[in-house]
Structure 1
Amino acid sequence: MVESIGATPHLQPLVSVVVPAFNASPFIERTLVSATSQTYRALEIIVVDDGSTDDTARLVERAAVNDARIRLLRTANRGVAAARNTGIEAASGPYVAFLDADDLWHPAKIEKQVEALERLPDQWAAVYVLHHFINLDDELYGLGPSHLARGYIYARHLTYKYVGNGSSLLVRRQAALEIGGFDSSYVAAGIGGCEDLDFELRLAARYCIEYVPERLLGYRKYAGNMSSDHVRMASALSEVTRRSLAAGPELSSYAAGSAILAAHKYALNQYMLAGNYRLAAAPARAILKADPVFVIRLILRTSAGYAKRKLLLALIGRERLARPCSKPRFQDLASSSRPTEMPKSLRMRRRAARLAEADAALSSAHAVPVREAAALESRV
């Protein structure tokens, strides 16, 4: 049973913002401000309180008093996938945008995404943006990846994972329903954390996807949130890859091997971050056969970071090293920053080209043929 509190100010809002929230009281007010401050005003904001035991519901109710576009739905705790599905089902707009309860949006995010998708046919089901990493105080501390691809990107997305997190995507609601929404079985198996990637891959298997090449999202990473559980995230991504290869479009051996190698690299990196070298051994052995340079660089980078910190401690002392520095805050960005592409090695360029060829072959079986996708690419 879902309990609904609040009202929707628009009969047919263009964009339904779905905010899954579980014990999100430290962040939910800032997150909702970033949603209500969008330059695109035709919104309904559906917060799905997933059985919180803190003040999340009270804070959302208070925010709804000041902005009638906010609506609170309360459910038993079932996990983020089920919470998002509840929001999709309750949505009245043709577009749905997902916003995790601890992330922030740039004010222009939704406007630019709607503009991008409105000029494309229905076979283009979603649009993503790039992100900054932010800390507990909303300060910028890093840039998310800058890889971009548009059109039919299923094979490439399996390797490169362009969307990056659960707060980036704006999707046509009908497409989200047609693919069955988010899969809650990952939580039931104890490996929640990559449901957004699973959703994106099932979407990419059937539709074309667009991007806005700007950093319009503040993606919060901190000790205690789901993405900081390195061992679980490694297991979750490996399972998403396995399921997608089993149930998705049939890939060439090269594209499938690239996806498996990418999953091994992610797992190795996560296990290294967790300091679990026993678990790291298996993906390291698998990668050594295909890309030994990656393993060597990761080990050197990890050991170099440790050595660098020890040297700084010796030179300037622990107290000065730990002293916080003033950093720009996400909300203070005057405008979104366009990404700077890192130079790619010849090997990386070749891999991207071969995966693009795999996508071109797969797209011929879908509603947007390769030639039409290419024509759209040239016009945008």
Structure 2
Amino acid sequence: MKAAIIIPAYEAEATIASSIRSLLRQRDAATLDIIVIDDGSSDRTCAVVRELMASEPEIRLIENAHGGISKTRNAGLKALSEDTDVVSFLDADDLSPDGRMKRDIAILEADAAIDLIYAKVRFFDFEDQHTLSPRIGANAVDGRVVQLAAGLYRRTLIDRVGLFDETLVQSEDLDYLMRIFEERPNYFVSDEVGVYYRKNNGGITEQRKQAQHELMRALFRARKRRSKLAGFEMPRDIFSSDHLADLERWAK
């Protein structure tokens, strides 16, 4: 099975090597296609990726002018090879847990009817660079929230959903996940952790005012779509009850 992992990167020289290495250690699970799309970084992000590419053929680098997260993710989708079987995402400052790919791909191989697997997210603050996981003693908490990297998606499902909405500066991940579930896929909810999400103060999600505005835009668009989807409701077991309640409150 061929697994493509799309990594959008912007000014990520400090963390992107760890993100890529956390995926490379899982090459026993599938043929990996790690697609890094640089969004016009001015630091050494591209140089770090090229250094890894010199010895790791699973990595591809696409260098674009700065265009924002949605355009960057779309560049990754457009670069998928024809023989890609499954797709996932990973932000350039997050980590993929050891064994995640092997575990989830085994589930997909055992049941051809499953379109996607959605797992938990572990938030953390400090990384152990040897284990590529949260450091012992670091602040860490698990949750079921909106996070593209928590999912492993069959290519056929991704093709049905299409591209990210490039008018969204943020909340493009929420918009995309809602569109995924609006396709009414067959899904498997995993109790395992699918991604280590690094909590920091420099990410785009820290820009609170803009984040709130974009969240409202994404939810408003979802409401308009659902008026045409007879009887559709978001699955109740994908996100935690608190997280789902927050989304539903914003949507009213």
Structure-1 residue corresponding to 2:125: 135
- Pick aligned residue for 1:126 from 95, 116, 123: 116
Task: Say which SS state the counterpart of residue 186 (structure 1) adopts.
Answer: coil
Instruction: Give 1 or 2: higher helix fraction.
Output: 1
Aligned residues of 1:136 and 1:222 also touching (Cα < 8 A): no
Residue 252 of structure 1 and its aligned partner are, at CA, apart by 6.1
CA 1:221/1:260 → structure 2, altered by over 3 Å: closer, same or farther? closer
Separation in 1, partners of 2:247, 2:98: 34
Greater relative CO (CA pairs within 8 A, separation 6+): 2
Alignment partner, residue 154 of structure 1: none
1:251, CA displacement in angstroms?
6.1
Given that 2:37 and 2:72 are in contact with CA atoms closer than 8 Å, whether structure 1 keeps it comes out as: yes
TM-score (norm 1): 0.56
Q: 1:253 to 1:114 in 2, by over 3 A?
A: closer
Q: In the alignment, is the contact (CA less than 8 A) between 1:51 and 1:75 conserved in 2?
A: yes
Alignment of 1:33-72 (within 5 A): 33-38=21-26, 39-72=28-61
- Seq. identity, %: 26
Unaligned runs of 5+ in 1: 1-12, 147-161, 268-285, 287-380
Over residues 35-91 of structure 1, what are the superposed CA-to-partner deviations in whole Å (9 max), with x where a residue is unaligned?
A: 101141421111111111110000000011121111111111112222222112212
Specify the alignment match of 1:144 in structure 2.
Answer: 142
Mean Cα deviation higher: 235-244 or 196-205: 235-244
CA shift for structure 1 position 97: 1.2
In structure 2, the partner of 1:343 is: none
Give the drift of 1:265: 5.1
Q: Distance in 1 between matches of 2:233 and 2:16?
A: 43
Counterpart residue number, 2:91: 100
Q: Counterpart in 2 of 1:374?
A: none
Question: Aligned in 2, Cα 1:252/1:125: closer, same or farther, shift over 3 Å?
Answer: closer
Q: Does 1:180 align with 2:162?
A: yes
Which of residues 183, 204, 215 is equivalent to 2:181? 204
- Residue 26 of structure 1 pairs with residue 14 of structure 2: yes
Mapped partners of 1:182, 1:117: distance in 2:
24
Helix, strand or coil for the counterpart of 1:18?
A: strand
What pairs up with 1:1-380 in 2 under 5 angstroms? Answer: 14-38=2-26, 39-92=28-81, 93-122=84-113, 124-137=114-127, 138-139=134-135, 140-146=138-144, 162=145, 164-187=146-169, 192=170, 194-206=171-183, 207-248=185-226, 249-250=228-229, 262-263=246-247
Which secondary structure does the structure 2 equivalent of 1:199 belong to?
Answer: helix
Q: Structure 1 pair 175/41, CA: closer, same or farther in 2 (3 Å)?
A: closer
The structure with the larger Rg is 1
The CA deviation at 1:212 is 2.1
Aligned equivalents of 1:78, 1:35: Cα separation in 2: 26
Q: Distance in 1 between matches of 2:56 and 2:35?
A: 12
Count of aligned pairs between the two proteins: 232
Q: Which one-letter code corresponds to 2:122 in the other structure?
A: H
Task: Report the residue type matching 2:90 in the other structure.
Answer: L
Identify which range, 228-237 or 100-109, moves more after superposition. 228-237
Q: Distance in 2 between matches of 1:251 and 1:141?
A: 43
Give me the CA root mean square deviation.
2.7
Q: Please say if residues 149 and 195 of structure 2, whose CA atoms lie closer than 8 Å, have aligned partners that are also in contact.
A: yes
> SS of 1:231's equivalent?
helix
Looking at secondary structure, tell me which structure has more strand per residue.
2
Provide the rounded CA distance (Å) in 2 between the counterparts of 1:51 and 1:261.
37
Residues 116, 212 of structure 1: 8 Å contact kept: no
Specify the code of the residue in structure 2 equivalent to 1:23: E
Alignment partners' CA distance in 1, 2:67 and 2:42: 13
Secondary structure of the residue aligned to 1:130 is strand
Tell me if structure 2 keeps the 8 A contact 1:60–1:72.
yes
Query: Unpaired segments of 5 or more residues in structure 2?
Result: 128-133, 235-240
> For 1:209-237, what per-residue CA distance to the aligned partner results, in whole angstroms no more than 9, with x for missing partners?
22221123210111110222222222222
